[in-house]
Structure 1
Amino acid sequence: MGRLGLSERVDPSDPRDWRGILDRGNPENPVAKWTQVYAAYCTGDAYLGNRDVTYKTADGREVAVRHRGRANVESVLNWIYENVKKPERIVVAGSSAGAIGTPIYAAEVSDHYPDVEITAVADGAGGYRSPKIVDAIRNWGFWDDAPEWAAGIDRESATFEDLGRAAVRRAPHLRVVELDTAYDAAQERFLKAFGTPSRLYPLLLQNRAEQAKGLSGFAGFTSRGKEHTQLLFDRFYTNEEEGVRVLDWFRDVEEGRKVQSVTCDEPESCEKEPE
């Protein structure tokens, strides 16, 4: 997700420039030798869009946006299905806007590889709670050609988590975990745009509790501070809570071991930046 503005082009997002799990030269990277496929983000719809929409900017100008997030992801998945025939394990990971669609597309991947252990890792989108999310999902065109698993979702109250949980119900062996920072500045900025006055951490705790009830094997890792996302930065290797590094927690996840939720705990300690 990004702030709506006017631009002739979008700066390229080259995964070779990222760090974290995409840093294939880091000997600590647990997925450095994996086949890695990157789906670029460019249509402002959390990878869920399927509609052309004309928006008005703050100064009254009109901007047409072709929300094609779903088509973009499906083209990537089709390439994977054609070129990766027998994977041993799969991790579907998404950061920021990508985190929102991660469980949805992980469930689709599980349809294609029903006998493969698959984990969805959603990074940096766990605290969104607002009635306006309903409008965003609708405006992006998610319901225009909604998949069958979405039939039971109330379109007038749907949340991002509702979509993810509904998708995962048809993939009982799929595990979902989440990474967040307690006071992620980007999530708080979007919450403000949604008209939600609350700080992020209390909303994150509410969402995590609901996820734990609705998803078998769910766990979350909440780091202190306000940085946005962890998987694609060096802080993936250094952030630590309760004596557990994000790196080691992620390694356990991708190797199929059961993990417990880890948190920075009280709001006061969670506001402090990592040392």
Structure 2
Amino acid sequence: MTALTGATLAEAGIDAVALKPAEMEVARGTELSVSTLTVDYEGREHVPDPETLREMAADHEVRVTAPVRADGYDPRGDDSLLRAVPDTVGLVVVAGNPAYLDSRETTRAIAPRLGEVVSRAADPWVGTERVERLALAAGGTQYELLTGATEHDIRGLRAAGFSGDVAVYAPTVLTGNEDAVLDAIGAYAARRSAVRSALPTGAATDSTATGEAREILLDGCREFALYGSVDEVAARVQALREAGVDRVVGYPARGLDPFLD
């Protein structure tokens, strides 16, 4: 199995890596051969301490996700975590995944909070998921989740005159082994509405999936993630760049070790 490391990161066109603090030691991200690291939000208990972020930012461009409805990042309430972000660390400003928000937080208005946090930040990235029009209005680098429509949508955005930066997030698995792919990103693909609605009720979403469910999941993985050989991933990334994407952010869906070995 090929590892996505060093030179192959560049060969595959991945120029930034997304780190999930609930799954990995984010400081190890500095061992990767990329210049930009983003740290996802997976709940207050997993937010890296400011000193760790400061040390990471000494040699890398580092960005932390700021879910504007969550306590700690709410510019109209508790913004203690937002204020604790070191000056050398940038922001990825997002509405916030409801999976990491409580019932109070999910009722908070997104638009004014998104605008306020973006106005505070220097060179922010703005997550577009479920708030595409608000994100575009807020400005900053538009941070998209990869879908089968991404190339078409970005071409349209560029044709309409948008000249700002666009970054695209994609779970990344550098192997064509179907079982390995499904174990790494099958569940992720299954959470996308188009895949979820097509899957048979109760179908497995990992390597144990069979028949129609397996084909639906693999199609979903192709649409919403990057997987395959270095050359296959590089070709997909190149197509994204030709459509107008500036940065491709890979999430190491099998953990950091395959990226480092």
User: Under a length normalisation based on structure 2, what TM-score does the superposition of the two structures give?
Assistant: 0.39
* Bigger proportion of residues as helix: 2
User: Under a length normalisation based on structure 1, what TM-score does the superposition of the two structures give?
Assistant: 0.37
Point out which structure has higher relative CO (alpha carbons under 8 A, 6+ apart).
2
